[in-house]
Structure 1
């Protein structure tokens, strides 16, 4: 998160708090669709949480961004973060110059749910960076959804810095050792496949029954998890690693479906050994790209938060 913290340090500490009291909204997405937003807790009753202090099923939080025709959009303002997460992130980042209460003040411009069948939209699942809430990627997810994709962002409990469930149960992140990272990536990959199971077999909040193909993408450790999910689950038709080091079977065995690796400025195959090892084993369509004048957390909403 160094990019964001350095940017936050440059903010004036006497930020006009009047704007915070009235609320700030991210710009509306620029695609041909508006979007709705739903947050849902999902319980995998067939899998125990490997990181929970007691024996319990793995439970996830997701955000679902669904395209809505402009003619069907009933405008809403949706909170960028739920209150407990917002207060947690405020306390953590206020020391770097962000005004008090900034995350409680932020909103997304959304629509009420459109009760039509959305099976025609391709499904994309997203996994965030280690120690980072999925909510720091909501503006990006909304923008992608506005171009005609159903986008689902996933929180991985005990890995994200904080996950708050609808009953206000709160799970804080653990400090994983390097030796635990392969288990973390494998757990994330299973989380991702489980979310695809849900969208393939149930209605959730729209009619998604029968959806069996999807794409997967992620940032940092989420990029590694996306590649591992593709390796273990053939339903994923393509993937994208945003600036993440690869871990898991995919490094040794590769993928035969389309995959893109997208780096911050200065990162490439020559200075990440996992990229160099994985690249020749990607036998489908593949591309390596680098975003000029960027840093690791450019691949999140955090630069836009600073702009706001």
Structure 2
């Protein structure tokens, strides 16, 4: 029988080596999976807000009856948005912090290689009462990056709310990977709502940004209504004469586009977002800041193109109210919560070598300082020149 034929010594040795390597590979894979599971379920408290206010959070579901959604998988569907608000709240004892994501959102968005949503501790209280320390508060509208949702920027948004800003943050339906509506429906990203592989980036971006810009303008209109209607938490408490726009990545590009389109924008920030739409040629006339990750030598064509567009829009900004700054040793996702909890993005070069909490602290400080300057009339030398307190921040001339 063949099974009884003796194996030559050399073949036996090869089989032993193969089995040993296979065992080592299995141990590495099992250990890696176990490490990821332990790390992603380890409790992580987000950096605490630095302002004097407690932070409240609530959710709205708004439908724009005037627009058919061009990203929706079914023809004729109206554009529907889930918008979250973070706001300065009254201090109440014994309140439990809100989950990083509500249950339905968490089930739909849990990524098996990122920090588990249920292990992240926030500093927000669901539906907390609005602080009565001020009659009216400045308002900010935020858009996340492509594929992302606003809770992935909780650390930044909570901090702004703790300093007296009411933030309304848009979930871009069918562009975000997943949006969960309050009634349990789940909307996943569609090809129409995202930049497809191989697509012309400029053409796709110009197309999508028109929808995102209209989302922001619709939200502005909703805030007019919310402020005028009696009986809701924000009634007559939104100071819409002090309205700022900001966002990360594609959301930052959207902030620039809307400031170009709508004079209700009094100041805007683009956090590391390549520019699309007509703003790239026409610019903005409001105070505006571009905050970038470390550009390094900026020797490739994409970097030079981005810098040229930044300089184009900032040259149209009123004198002494335009800012182009970068943060050393950061990468694109250092401006999000990914920087402060377990994420493999550092392995792919999407997080820089800067300490995650330090990078977030810098982002929070400069975003708040900009809006304090132009919405609250509290100018700061931080915006004028480098400082020893934040040597990582580099200024460029527009």
Please, what TM-score do these two structures have when normalized by structure 1?
0.84
Q: What is the CA distance between 1:209 and its match in structure 2?
A: 7.0
Tell me, yes or no, if structure 1 residue 109 matches structure 2 residue 123: yes
**Alignment partner of 2:206 out of 171, 182, 186:** 182
Taking the aligned partners of 1:116 and 1:219, their CA distance within structure 2 comes to 28
Q: What is the CA distance between 1:305 and its match in structure 2?
A: 2.0
Q: Which residue of 2 aligns with 1:245?
A: 274
The structure number with the bigger radius of gyration is 2
Structure number with the bigger relative contact order (C-alpha 8 A, sep ≥ 6) is 1
Q: What is the CA distance between 1:155 and its match in structure 2?
A: 0.6
Structure 2 counterpart SS, 1:236: coil
Q: What is the CA distance between 1:139 and its match in structure 2?
A: 2.2
Taking the aligned partners of 1:229 and 1:278, their CA distance within structure 2 comes to 13
Q: CA RMSD in A?
A: 2.7
**Alignment partner of 1:164 out of 172, 177, 180:** 180
Task: Report if aligned partners of 2:180, 2:186 keep a CA contact under 8 Å in 1.
Answer: yes
Q: What is the CA distance between 1:57 and its match in structure 2?
A: 1.3
Taking the aligned partners of 1:25 and 1:216, their CA distance within structure 2 comes to 27
Structure 1 counterpart SS, 2:48: coil
Taking the aligned partners of 2:84 and 2:122, their CA distance within structure 1 comes to 13
**Alignment partner of 2:264 out of 231, 235, 257:** 235
Task: Report if aligned partners of 2:179, 2:186 keep a CA contact under 8 Å in 1.
Answer: yes
In 2 relative to 1, CA 151–210 (structure 1 residues): closer, same or farther, beyond 3 Å? closer
In 2 relative to 1, CA 45–209 (structure 1 residues): closer, same or farther, beyond 3 Å? farther
Q: Which residue of 2 aligns with 1:31?
A: 51
Please, what TM-score do these two structures have when normalized by structure 2?
0.66
Structure 2 counterpart SS, 1:43: strand
Q: Which has the higher helix share?
A: 2
Taking the aligned partners of 2:217 and 2:78, their CA distance within structure 1 comes to 16
How many residues align structurally? Answer: 290
**Alignment partner of 1:173 out of 183, 189, 194:** 189
> Unpaired runs of 5+ in structure 2?
1-31, 343-355, 358-398
**Alignment partner of 2:106 out of 83, 86, 101:** 86
Residues 47-126 of structure 1 correspond to what in structure 2 (within 5 A)? 47-52=67-72, 53-70=74-91, 72=92, 75-91=95-111, 93-94=112-113, 98=114, 102-111=116-125, 112-114=127-129, 120-126=136-142
In 2 relative to 1, CA 54–211 (structure 1 residues): closer, same or farther, beyond 3 Å? farther
> Unpaired runs of 5+ in structure 1?
1-8
Structure 2 counterpart SS, 1:206: coil
Q: Which residue of 2 aligns with 1:254?
A: 283
In 2 relative to 1, CA 55–205 (structure 1 residues): closer, same or farther, beyond 3 Å? farther
Structure 2 counterpart SS, 1:157: coil
Q: Which residue of 1 aligns with 2:168?
A: 152
Q: What is the CA distance between 1:283 and its match in structure 2?
A: 3.7
Tell me, yes or no, if structure 1 residue 15 matches structure 2 residue 38: yes
Q: What is the CA distance between 1:143 and its match in structure 2?
A: 1.0
